[in-house]
Amino acid sequence: MIQSIFFLIISGFLLSKAFFKFKTIYRNINLGKNTTLEPSGQRLKNMVLFALGQRKMFDKPIVGILHLFIYAAFIITQIEFLETIIDGFFGTHRIFSKFLGSFYTLIINSIEILSVFALVATIIFLYRRNILKLLRFQKPEMKGWPSMDANLILFGEITLIFGIFLMNSSDQLLQQLDLKHYPTTGKFYLSSIISEHVLSAFPKDWLQLFERLGWWIHYITVLGFIVYLPTSKHLHIFLAFPNSYFSKTNSRGEMSAMPVIENEVRSMVGLDAKPINEPISENFGAKDIFDLSWRNLLEAYTCTECGRCTSVCPANLAGKKLSPRKIMMDIRDRTEEIGQKIDKANSNIDILKFEDGKSLFDKISREEIYACTSCNACVEACPVLINPLEPILELRRYDILMNSSGPNDWLPMFNSLENNQSVWAIAEPRTKWISDNS
C-alpha cells in the first residue's frame, strides 16, 4: 500500500512536469505563422516510411542497423514498462504473466535479447562520439551541451538496461524460492545466466532488495527520460512522426515563391497576375521566428543533431561557416528564448507585438546564409525530412529585400535582373531571341 502511494506521488509529479513542458513546446511551435498544407495522400506514407520505418537511416547500413537495435528495444520495452505502471498502481507483480502464460516468457526473452543488442549499439555510439571522435560530431555547434546531451541519453540507455536485468535476474531466483508474491513466469535465459553466476549466493532479503531496486531503476529511468525529452535532441522520438507527416510533399528542388514578387515579375514579362489567397505581409522573408512557419519551428524541434546534413553540405565541406544543423539548432534556441520570455511576462505581453531587440540574425550570421548554394543536399540527407534550406532562403530574402543588403558581387546580378530580366549584364532584352528566330 505504501509503495503504491509513493508510486502515485512520484508518477504524478514527474508526468505533470513532462505535460507542461510538452505543452510549452506546442505553444512555441505555434509562434510561427500559419501555412497552407499541400493536399497529398503521400503524408501517411512518409510517416510510416521515415518515422516508423527509419528508411533514411539505412543510407549508412551499419549505423542504421545499430540504431534499429536501440529503436526496437525502446519500442518493445514499453510492454514491460506498461506492466510496471499497472503493478505499481495496483500493488501487483508481473500481472501480464497471469494472462499471457508462455507468450509472456517469449516477450521478456525478446526484450532481453534486444536489450543486449541495444547495449552493444550504445557502447559503439559512445565510442564513436568520445573516442573515435567522428568529424560530424566535433563541429563547433556540438561543443558543450549538445555533446553532453547525446552522452546523457546513451548513459541513460545503459542504466535502463541495467535496471531491467537486475530486476529480471533477481526475480528468477525469487521464483525458485516459491514465494507467494513472485508468480512463475518461465525461464528468462539471459537473466538466468546472471542469476546463476552473480546473484545465487545472496540471501532472500537481498534478492528482494535487488528486485525492487531494478524495478524502480527501470521505472524512474523511463519517466525521467520522458521529462528530459523536451530539453533534448531526442525529442525527435516523438516529433519525427508529425514532422514527417507535415513535411513538404512537392519536389525537394522546388522553392516557395513570394506571391507579391512573383506577380511583379509576371507583369514585367507580360503575364497576368496570379490571385493571392493569403494575407499580404509588409515584410519579405524572415527576420525572426514569427516570420517562419510553424512547420519550420516543428522541424527545428525535431532536429536529431545527427549532422548528416552538415556532412554533405558542399559549403561546409569547402570550409565555409555554414552548417545546416547549426541553422536548425539556432532556430530552436531562439524559439526557446522567446518562449521563456513570454512565460516570464505571463499575460502581460502581446505575442503579435513581441520585441526584445533581438532576431535570428543575432544567432545566424550573414556569412552562413550567403554560403548556401541551394543544392538541397541537406534536405535529401535528413532522416526525418527536415528542410534546412527553407529558413536559410527566408533569412536571405529578408536581408536582401528588407535590408537592401547582400554580397557586393551579387549586386550586378540584381541590377541585370531588374533592368534586363536576366542575370547577365547584356544590353538586349531577354526575349529578343524569339523575334530573331520567328
- Whether 164 has a pLDDT exceeding 90, the answer reads yes
What own/partner pairs with CB < 8 Å and gap ≥ 24 does 71-74 have? 72/114, 72/117, 72/118, 73/111, 73/114, 73/115, 73/117, 73/118, 74/118, 74/237
Query: What global pTM score does this model have?
Result: 0.89
Query: How many C-beta atoms surround the C-beta of residue 388 within 10 A?
Result: 29
> What is the predicted pLDDT for the residue at 242?
94
> What is the predicted pLDDT for the residue at 3?
76
| Residue 328 contacts residue 336 (beta carbons within 8 Å) | no
* Domain 254-275+282-420: CATH class, spelled out: mainly alpha
- Whether 147 has a pLDDT exceeding 70, the answer reads yes
Q: Which residue has the higher pLDDT, 353 or 385?
A: 385
First to last CA, the chain: 93
Boundaries of every domain in the chain: 2-245, 254-275+282-420
Q: For the residues 59-84, what does the mean pLDDT come to?
A: 90
Q: For the residues 170-195, what does the mean pLDDT come to?
A: 89
SS (H, E, C) the chain: CHHHHHHHHHHHHHHHHHHHHHHHHHHHHCCCECCCCCCCCHHHHHHHHHHHCCHHHHHCHHHHHHHHHHHHHHHHHHHHHHHHHHHHHHCCCCHHHHHHCHHHHHHHHHHHHHHHHHHHHHHHHHHHHHCCCCHHHCCHHHCCHHHHHHHHHHHHHHHHHHHHHHHHHHHHHHHHCCCCCCCCCCCCHHHHHHHHHHHCCCCHHHHHHHHHHHHHHHHHHHHHHHHHHHHCHHHHHHHHHHHHHHCCCCCCCCCCCCHHHHHHHHHHCCCCCCCCCCCCCCCCCCCCHHHCEHHHHHHHHHCCCCCHHHHHCHHHHCCCCCCHHHHHHHHHHHHHHHHHHHHHHCCCCCHHHCCCCCCHHHCCCHHHHHHCCCCCHHHHHCCCCCCCHHHHHHHHHHHHHCCCCCCHHHHHHHHHHHHHCCCCCCCCCCCHHHHHCC
Interval 96-129: pLDDT, tens:
998 888 999 999 999 999 999 999 999 999 999 9
For the chain, what is the mean pLDDT?
Answer: 89
- Whether 353 has a pLDDT exceeding 90, the answer reads no
> What is the predicted pLDDT for the residue at 347?
62
Q: For the residues 359-376, what does the mean pLDDT come to?
A: 94
> What is the predicted pLDDT for the residue at 1?
65
